[in-house]
Structure 1
Amino acid sequence: MGADRDVEALVSAVEALRAQVEAAGLPLDVPGRDAAETTRRRLLGQLDDYVLPRLRSLDAPLLAVVGGSTGAGKSTLVNSVVGEPVSRSGVLRPTTTSPVLVHHPDDGHWFEGDRVLPGLARLSGHDTGEDQPGTVRLTASAALPSGLALLDAPDIDSVVSANRELANQLLAAADLWIFVTTAARYADAVPWDLLRTASERGTAVAIVLDRVPPEAVDEIRPHLASMLREQGLSTSPIFSVPEVALEDGRLPAWTFTRLRDWLQALAGDARARDIVVSQTLRGAVASLGSRADELATASRAQDAAAAALAAAAQESFDLARRRVSDGMTDGTLLRGEVLARWQEFVGTGEFFKQVESTIARWRDRISAAIKGTPAPVDTLGEALHTGVAALVLANLEAATSDTARAWRRMPGGPAVLASGDGLGATTSASTAGVERLVRAWQGEVFDLVRTEGQGRRTNARVAAYGVNAIGLFLMLVAFAQTGGLVGAEVGIAGGTAILAQRVLEAIFGDQAVRDMAAKARDRLLTLVDELYDDERARFTAALAEHTAPQDQASRIESAATRLARVAS
């Protein structure tokens, strides 16, 4: 019972890791993403194709996958061991495009369902050469002893990429790799890459050295054994098959007697079979941790890239907000049209009929500097509206373009930009939003004037001058820092500010004017913050569609740590 509980705990830990691997996403196109996605896909495949099925069915037949390079003679070897043509062989490459799994008739129930290789549809009977991709052909043969199944896999170096991928998947599903190579190609790089993987994962491996000229056996076999030792595979048995003429498409029985006897011994000896299965299973479970770490590292790279993109957007919009704040107090809004409309406004004299003589003298200084045609108060209000809107919109456009420019240079950014609808530019809705913002702010300034003018004496003065005119004066005072003006503009705008402030102080008092101006500025910045946050949200929403699940890396690491603890 204790052993059963240990296996149950191990299955539970592996299932927990599998859940995290399956849920993991690597949506941002950052360096290393493709390799990490391959690791994830293969890790998930081995969990589904081998580790979990084997843990849940420790007494299932041993699955030996026959793999190797193109033309190594894998299918011929399988047909020869079985004694009948169960797998198609020939000179055309690739010959094996869909795997063929040969089993004893009594063992069929182990393979007919989705216990192993659940992603492959099952076919039955002999290979006709017409199998479709994504299938595995099951063939029953009494020539194989019960307890052993052979799977003829596609070439590991096939010219067809899908075949190469499938070959890797099948090898990862094996209890035992029977690696077939030839005297001419045993030192090729591709097989040894996979043999190193087998060594790293602790997979049981047997080597079949095919088509060996009799005079070369004593030279090639020791060299191959030396190469295996260097890769940590010194215990892997080597079976030599001499170069001989085939008999009815199969090897003469005497050429593979030692291999056949070894396979039959494995099938008939439960203890020997358990040793092979335990070696591969332990190695596979032990390798899960390092591959999970690779996936966690890739997940952290995703998090870092997403955070960098979000920070770039935040920085661009923060800069835009600071520029709006500076533009409100450096005299920018008192230039051009606003200044001209103000001069026309005070030049009429209509507004100041009842203003104290000291204020009138300030009015005279400014109106003497320019001659103009009287203009209504609406003209000044429109000029202020246009100036504020231009300031807010220009910096909004700058923030949008700066963010897009930064993202194009950053890992993952170009794909996110391409997925969004017009992320690189402001929209008509954005422009309309700026217009609404300025109108709303001006309305709030007028409301502020009404609220502050509720006293009987103050209310009378406000009523005498008009709420809108007083509100416009308050806007001018709010924007009255002249650091950004030059030449004659300084004196004119400075006088504008002082004159407007004197009018307001006469109505509300100096402290109240300072407080009202501060409130007006703060409220405009608050509205700008809200608008810019909404615009920045377009970028963050697009980024969210390309962001890995929260805490993905730590959850993968926690699951891997739990598995390591249970497996130790």
Structure 2
Amino acid sequence: MTPGTRSAVLGRRGGVDPNVAEQLGFTVHDVVRDLRRDVAAATLPLPVDGTEEAEASRERLLAQLDEHLLPRLAELSSPAVVVLAGSTGAGKSTLFNSLLGEEVSEAGVLRPTTREPVVGVHPRDVDTLTAGPVTELARLVKHEGVPRGTALMDAPDLDSLLKENRSTAHQLLEAADLWLFVTTAARYGDALPWQALDRAKERGASVAMVLNRVPKENLTTIRADLNARMKERGMKDVPLFVVPDVGPHEGLLDPKLVAPIQRWLNLMAGPERSRTVILRTLKGALGALPDWVTGLVTAVEQQGTVAFDLRNAVQSVVPDAQLAARTAVLSGTSGEGTVAARFAELASTDHISRVTVRDGIARTTKRAGKARETALLRLREEVEATATRAFVAAGVRTEESLQGALAGPGAPAAGETILPSATSRAKDRLAWGQRTAAEWSRLADDVVGRMADSDPDSSGTEAAARAAGARKAFGDVGLATLLQATALGNEDSANLVDRVLGETAGAAIEELQGELADQVALAVAEEARSVQSALDVPALADDAAAPLRVRLAELRRLT
């Protein structure tokens, strides 16, 4: 069915102006449907000031879209839903039963009385009642006392002791086309009635009010006071019905007492007039949407601003941390301590330094070279462990700097919340360091392999001969390990490498040192990345609010 056809059909069935039906037809439904999608996607991950309130507002907006606007826009011919709402003991069920002239909703002195919502519908309107929160949450009662074109509902107490009842009451209010709010002479000054009325006004709902159980001697005074309060809140046009106090009683109220409310409901009877209520509430709800969406846009953009500050705070740490990490590696201190101790042990027990060098070339047997290579595997383990510790240390120092920048004095909002778990980071940092150290060893093996592949004509016969002699004396892995230890700053291995390779070793050591410095700088970047990953989400992107702004522009064109 095309939008134009839909308009014509609505016009024939309900007497609605085709232009109004067109306005509230497919176009509006599509806009609201797209709005619902984008509101659901607009998360607020950073706990900054105002986020909790914005999230609550977002949830309420979703509830209104899901429980009223989308179902109602999908089917305008469904009866207008009138919900009797109010606080505990307001007399909603008694009023509901009295309006129908029959006890169909449980009423009594026990609280909460209304455990199950009841919706009364005229038998001829049952087939047109749209499926949704009303039909899912309430017990349906067919009753000829319900005016045609309306569905009259008795909802649970808004302040029920049971959380489930409170939740249901609020859901039903969101689904309503008209709120018939019931309060009493003793409780109309409480916060709850006014909070509910403010909520109705905020979402653009149509409202009427029943002031129940009013002592006759105070009726004029109380009605004037309530009217004044409603006027102060911009509700001077809200219908107000007053039901006098009849004292303790059971059963239905005298029909005369509820006659004004009954007449008012009958004024909305029939498809055409009830649809006027529906359209009025829809227009009010649509007109209220831009303010809601604007508030959400502001909250999303605030998240982006905070995320920008947090990213800058993280990045401000990186340059100094990388410089410090590179300096620590290139200073050569890593080659002291355990690496030096392990080299001394191998020199003493396995005589790895006892290599004859004649005319600058290492002279040894193949068997002796194999023995040295096997012994040097223990040094390689220590070299990789030392490199791993260098990577981990760089990460730990960066972590400390990040904690100061994000959680210390003057830190941006929500900085603490994006810091990862120290335990998980320690595990990840160690695993990354071990992988990177192993890759560094493979680079050293590759460097020695390139020595083997060097062309004597281009590198010089003497250099090639020295490299071949060194590889024979220590094996490829052993020679690579000695180059690594030298790159770490170990003097003993440096002296040995100089004896067997001379100037040939210079480029190899420089390459290994450069790679080690690059990787330790990368360890710093990896630490920063682990923090920034919490900010690399669509909700914190620079254009996160763009879809909502598009929806806002569409809503403003409609309203």
Partner of 2:57: 39
Partner of 2:238: 236
1:305/1:80 CA distance change after superposition, 3 Å:
same
Displacement, 1:521? 2.5
Name the SS for the 1:422 alignment partner. Answer: helix
Partner of 1:132: none
1:147/1:340 CA distance change after superposition, 3 Å:
closer
Partner of 1:371: none
Displacement, 1:79? 0.6
Partner of 1:559: 551
Out of 103, 107, 110, which is 1:92 matched to? 110
Displacement, 1:175? 1.8
1:226-375 matched pairs, under 5 angstroms? 226-245=228-247, 249-268=251-270, 270-271=272-273, 273-300=274-301, 322-339=323-340, 350-351=354-355, 353-354=357-358
Q: Which amino acid aligns with 2:511?
A: K
Q: Which amino acid aligns with 2:387?
A: V
1:41-94: CA deviation from partner (whole Å, max 9, x where unpaired): 322221122212332333432221111111011111111111001211111111
Displacement, 1:177? 1.3
1:8-23 matched pairs, under 5 angstroms? 8-23=26-41
1:147-173: CA deviation from partner (whole Å, max 9, x where unpaired): 122111111222222322222222222
1:443-462 matched pairs, under 5 angstroms? 443-450=445-452, 454=456, 455=459, 456-462=461-467
Is the Cα–Cα contact under 8 Å of residues 176 and 204 in structure 1 kept in the other structure?
yes
Q: Which amino acid aligns with 2:87?
A: S
Q: Which amino acid aligns with 1:49?
A: E
1:114-193 matched pairs, under 5 angstroms? 114=131, 116-117=132-133, 121=136, 135-193=137-195
Structure 2, gaps ≥5 residues long: 5-17, 361-373
Displacement, 1:299? 3.9
Out of 209, 214, 217, which is 1:215 matched to? 217
Q: Which amino acid aligns with 1:458?
A: A
2: CA distance between counterparts of 1:503 and 1:453?
22
1:347-387: CA deviation from partner (whole Å, max 9, x where unpaired): 9974473367xxxxxxxxxxxxxxxxxx9766765654443
Displacement, 1:213? 0.7
1:457/1:282 CA distance change after superposition, 3 Å:
same
Is the Cα–Cα contact under 8 Å of residues 79 and 125 in structure 2 kept in the other structure?
yes
Is the Cα–Cα contact under 8 Å of residues 157 and 165 in structure 2 kept in the other structure?
yes
Partner of 1:522: 514
Displacement, 1:533? 7.0
1: CA distance between counterparts of 2:382 and 2:81?
83
2: CA distance between counterparts of 1:230 and 1:321?
63
Name the SS for the 2:161 alignment partner. Answer: coil
**How many percent of aligned residue pairs carry the same amino acid?**
32
82-91 or 522-531, larger mean C-alpha shift: 522-531
Superposition CA RMSD, Å: 4.2
1:483-508: CA deviation from partner (whole Å, max 9, x where unpaired): xxxxxxxxx96x997x6797688543
150-159 or 308-317, larger mean C-alpha shift: 308-317
1:245/1:415 CA distance change after superposition, 3 Å:
farther
Is the Cα–Cα contact under 8 Å of residues 145 and 267 in structure 1 kept in the other structure?
yes
Displacement, 1:438? 4.2
1:221-277: CA deviation from partner (whole Å, max 9, x where unpaired): 111111111111000121111111476511111112212111111225935x45433
2: CA distance between counterparts of 1:537 and 1:415?
11
Displacement, 1:424? 5.0
Displacement, 1:28? 5.9
Is the Cα–Cα contact under 8 Å of residues 335 and 485 in structure 2 kept in the other structure?
yes
1: CA distance between counterparts of 2:419 and 2:105?
48
Q: Which amino acid aligns with 1:395?
A: A
1:242/1:45 CA distance change after superposition, 3 Å:
same
Partner of 2:23: 6
1:250/1:430 CA distance change after superposition, 3 Å:
same
Is the Cα–Cα contact under 8 Å of residues 17 and 563 in structure 1 kept in the other structure?
no
Displacement, 1:322? 4.5
1:425-470: CA deviation from partner (whole Å, max 9, x where unpaired): 4477456425523432432342354456753331112223347576
2: CA distance between counterparts of 1:138 and 1:240?
28
Name the SS for the 2:138 alignment partner. Answer: strand
Q: Which amino acid aligns with 2:284?
A: G
Partner of 2:441: 439
Out of 62, 66, 76, which is 2:80 matched to? 62
2: CA distance between counterparts of 1:415 and 1:93?
46
Displacement, 1:402? 7.2
Is the Cα–Cα contact under 8 Å of residues 418 and 534 in structure 2 kept in the other structure?
no
1:90/1:424 CA distance change after superposition, 3 Å:
farther
The normalised TM-score by structure 1 is 0.76
1:250/1:286 CA distance change after superposition, 3 Å:
same
1:451/1:398 CA distance change after superposition, 3 Å:
farther
Partner of 1:465: 470
Number of corresponding residues:
513
1: CA distance between counterparts of 2:74 and 2:428?
57
Q: Which amino acid aligns with 1:293?
A: T
Is the Cα–Cα contact under 8 Å of residues 462 and 507 in structure 1 kept in the other structure?
no
Is the Cα–Cα contact under 8 Å of residues 104 and 144 in structure 1 kept in the other structure?
yes
Structure 1, gaps ≥5 residues long: 122-134, 357-374, 481-491
49-58 or 535-544, larger mean C-alpha shift: 535-544
47-56 or 344-353, larger mean C-alpha shift: 344-353
Is the Cα–Cα contact under 8 Å of residues 65 and 174 in structure 1 kept in the other structure?
yes
Displacement, 1:472? 5.8
Name the SS for the 2:358 alignment partner. Answer: coil
Partner of 1:364: none
1:484-541: CA deviation from partner (whole Å, max 9, x where unpaired): xxxxxxxx96x997x6797688543xxx93x544422233345556777778777777
Q: Which amino acid aligns with 1:227?
A: R
Partner of 1:392: 391
The normalised TM-score by structure 2 is 0.77
1:269/1:472 CA distance change after superposition, 3 Å:
closer
Partner of 1:487: none
1:263-298: CA deviation from partner (whole Å, max 9, x where unpaired): 111225935x45433332112112222222333444
1: CA distance between counterparts of 2:378 and 2:357?
20
Q: Which amino acid aligns with 1:159?
A: L
2: CA distance between counterparts of 1:349 and 1:99?
92
1:421/1:328 CA distance change after superposition, 3 Å:
closer
1:261/1:386 CA distance change after superposition, 3 Å:
closer
Is the Cα–Cα contact under 8 Å of residues 81 and 150 in structure 2 kept in the other structure?
yes
1:349/1:474 CA distance change after superposition, 3 Å:
closer
Is the Cα–Cα contact under 8 Å of residues 97 and 103 in structure 2 kept in the other structure?
yes
